[in-house]
Amino acid sequence: MKEEERKSYKADFKKAMDKNLASLSQEDRNKRKKEILEVIANKKKTMTMKEYREEGLDLHDCACEGPFHDHEKKGKKREKTKPS
């Protein structure tokens, strides 16, 4: 998902959430928003790499195990260990 699409999606999501929660009191609305955002955050924590790629999230498309790693750093380590 491109940056512009992501911003548009987030804005549309917030508008829809506000519209759906409009009938609640301010206190209940804030509580429910917090619950919704926590569920989304927890889902992201448990997604597999395949799901991340399918969703088009901020990860590069590679077959590495963890989402947070630096390919440049790995390449430098390999260069150092190679015999000259």
Q: What is the pLDDT of residues 24-41, one digit of tens each?
A: 898 998 898 888 888 877
Are 32 and 21 in contact by the 8 Å Cβ rule? The answer is yes
Are 77 and 70 in contact by the 8 Å Cβ rule? The answer is no
Task: Evaluate if residue 61 carries a pLDDT over 50.
Answer: no
Number of domains in the chain: 1
Q: Which of 84, 61, 64, 59 is nearest to 74 (CA)?
A: 64
Stretch among 9-18, 43-52, 58-67 having the lowest mean pLDDT: 58-67
Per-residue pLDDT, 67: 53
Domain membership of residue 75 as a residue range: 3-81
